[in-house]
Structure 1
């Protein structure tokens, strides 16, 4: 279903996973490099789908020098992504590679392309249970075609030494994600639990990763303190209150995107 945001529009009729609250929250929360109008940052969107995350990041950075590279394997999603990029105000900054992340990594390393200052991904997350009947939706939702082990291995290879990678996963997938993370040299720097309403337990997790050997500078004093002590920032996001209204935290996070905020 088409979805219009404040500064761009998404067509996703060919995409296995349409625009979702998960994606919007991740796009608004994802950790990005410090603003520097003179530096050409590179940002990677793995499994871009309709291109939602790339477009949100383009709006957030407000920097004409930032290069945003999307990678998408599925044919229909790549078609929607390319269309949405072309129609956006940031078409010159956005590019799409229609291939697997494995192929993209191989090509990048062979060409000695610069690494990425930020990586963002709303990954396939169901590692068991029945597959969706719709093949495109199944590919987008299940880890059969992109396991956490594979995803994190390629993230480690493509992430610059001072870069940050941001993900959203269901809470029930956390143990599997952490098991895969243990086989890399990446570490969690920020963990945000997401509850749909105040009275419910968290159902999603936002996770920001960095290279374990590197402390990423930040202007945020809390983050500076946490990183200097090599601990994880932990907090919680509640989407709606008991009356069904967006909480102030959710409104602040997504105000630049949703039309009605």
Structure 2
């Protein structure tokens, strides 16, 4: 499968691992990572999100986990080939049984969000088979540092229950970015960030395309340090 080339790193891809997609790019570009020193990514896939965050934050070290052996191997390859490789580590590990004494300033995840279906396509990456919202949130709450953040991107339809479960685990919504595919359309994704302390909620809107196959100025500005193309599909 053809690699995906960014300005400072290249992502090798595999038919057995969920590919580079807009959700991952958005989370990698939007997550509040500037003040983090220790970052954990749950479900790395290709390693895209950690690589983007490592480019943005030169002081942080990164640990990636993936229960999928193929994904863990692919992440390892992409981490080793990156210019920030000394700050990147990944392991083949189930987050539910992950044990560490370390606390993380940022936990980031593009989590599975579909209920189990009959399809085997990207089953672990896209369906809540191996890791559901409650498991992700509860374990993240235990591993966050005092001022740490949990940052995720999920469909709007799943957002309300995710926020509710987070509150049950004493994680409070501090930021919500409303992602729209195109101008004047409904919000299709939320980037959600949670902290262990209650804060004033910051809300914003982000539009990916200004017209079909034409990226918005907002998207081009956000990703200008990453993408090497200008228009959708190039």
Q: State the partner residue of 2:92.
A: 98
Counterpart mapping for 1:61-210 below 5 A: 61-63=57-59, 66-104=60-98, 107-108=99-100, 112=101, 114-127=102-115, 130-134=117-121, 137-210=122-195
CA shift for structure 1 position 58: 0.8
Contact 2:13–2:19 (CA under 8 A) maintained in structure 1 = yes
Summarize the Cα distance change of 1:33–1:204 in structure 2 as closer, same or farther, 3 Å threshold. same
Q: Deviations over 1:28-75 (max 9, x none)?
A: 00011438xxxxx11111111111011111101123xx2100011101
User: After TM superposition, where is structure 1 displaced by more than 3 Å over at least 4 residues in a row?
Assistant: none
Q: C-alpha separation between the residues in 2 aligned to 1:199 and 1:144?
A: 34
Secondary structure of the residue aligned to 1:92 is helix
Q: Deviations over 1:185-213 (max 9, x none)?
A: 11111101111101310111100111125
Please, which runs of 5 or more residues in structure 2 have no aligned partner? none
- CA-based RMSD of the aligned residues comes to 1.5
Q: C-alpha separation between the residues in 2 aligned to 1:91 and 1:13?
A: 20
Q: C-alpha separation between the residues in 2 aligned to 1:98 and 1:144?
A: 17
Normalising by structure 2, we get a TM-score of: 0.93
Q: State the partner residue of 1:224.
A: none
Greater Rg over alpha carbons, structure: 1
CA shift for structure 1 position 16: 2.9
Q: State the partner residue of 1:249.
A: 218
Q: State the partner residue of 1:220.
A: none
Q: C-alpha separation between the residues in 2 aligned to 1:181 and 1:168?
A: 14
Q: State the partner residue of 1:237.
A: 206
CA shift for structure 1 position 84: 0.4
Summarize the Cα distance change of 1:52–1:15 in structure 2 as closer, same or farther, 3 Å threshold. farther
Q: C-alpha separation between the residues in 1 aligned to 2:144 and 2:16?
A: 27
Contact 2:163–2:173 (CA under 8 A) maintained in structure 1 = no
Q: C-alpha separation between the residues in 2 aligned to 1:243 and 1:185?
A: 41
Q: C-alpha separation between the residues in 2 aligned to 1:204 and 1:52?
A: 18
CA shift for structure 1 position 178: 2.1
CA shift for structure 1 position 15: 4.2
Contact 1:15–1:80 (CA under 8 A) maintained in structure 2 = no
